[in-house]
């Protein structure tokens, strides 16, 4: 479902995507807010316009403002790798997402944005950390180098049909 401009996920807290917290009160904000929160909405928007520097927007009466901030802040979903698995950009995926939302980094700072090795399973591209890309690349190149028709600079495509 990530082939859409925007996807609304309700109740999802365990991923590093940009978030709009919906809350009835300040306690609800505090319970749900994290470093990837870029806006707040819900009943609380009837009593405040900002919370700790984050805009509080009434999504019914200020729909244009809500749409504008979504278009301004939301970026392509990061790979959300386990913290110990990557950090090649110097940050975890959650930390990089937070920095992007604050304007301190860009989505392209994630080195997994442009992968030199592409693996698709059932048409779905699988994001791989550099170590896994290297293993797959070396295995395929090791075999391909022994075949006639191999050239050093040519692309190699492998498709396993089932």
Q: Is the same domain home to 40 and 105?
A: yes
**pLDDT tens digits, one per residue of 66-125:** 999 999 999 988 887 788 778 888 999 899 999 999 999 999 999 887 778 989 999 888
Q: Is the same domain home to 38 and 85?
A: yes
Q: Is the same domain home to 35 and 90?
A: yes
Q: Is the same domain home to 36 and 90?
A: yes
Q: Is 56 helix (H, G, I), strand (E, B) or coil?
A: strand
What is the maximal distance between C-alpha atoms in the chain?
72
- Read off the pTM: 0.69
Q: Is the same domain home to 96 and 120?
A: no
Q: Is the same domain home to 28 and 92?
A: yes
Structural domain for 146, as ranges: 115-162
Q: Is the same domain home to 28 and 48?
A: yes
Which pairing describes strands 19-22 and 37-41: parallel, antiparallel, or unpaired? Answer: parallel
Element (H, E) at 22: strand 19-22
């Amino acid at each position: 479902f990530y082939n859409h401009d925007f996807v609304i996920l309700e109740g999802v807290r365990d991923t590093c995507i940009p978030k709009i917290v919906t809350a009835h009160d300040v306690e609800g904000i505090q319970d749900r807010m994290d470093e990837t929160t870029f806006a707040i909405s819900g009943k609380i928007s009837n009593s405040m316009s900002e919370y700790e520097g984050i805009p509080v927007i009434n999504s019914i009466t200020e729909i244009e403002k809500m749409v504008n901030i979504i278009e301004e802040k939301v970026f392509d979903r990061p790979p959300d790798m386990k913290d110990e698995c990557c950090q090649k950009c110097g940050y975890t995926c959650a930390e990089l997402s937070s920095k992007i939302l604050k304007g301190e980094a860009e989505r392209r700072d994630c080195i997994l944005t442009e992968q030199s090795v592409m693996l698709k399973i059932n048409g779905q591209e699988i994001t791989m950390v550099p170590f896994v890309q290297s293993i797959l690349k070396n295995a395929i190149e090791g075999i391909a180098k022994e075949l006639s028709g191999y050239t050093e600079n040519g692309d190699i495509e492998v498709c396993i049909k089932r």
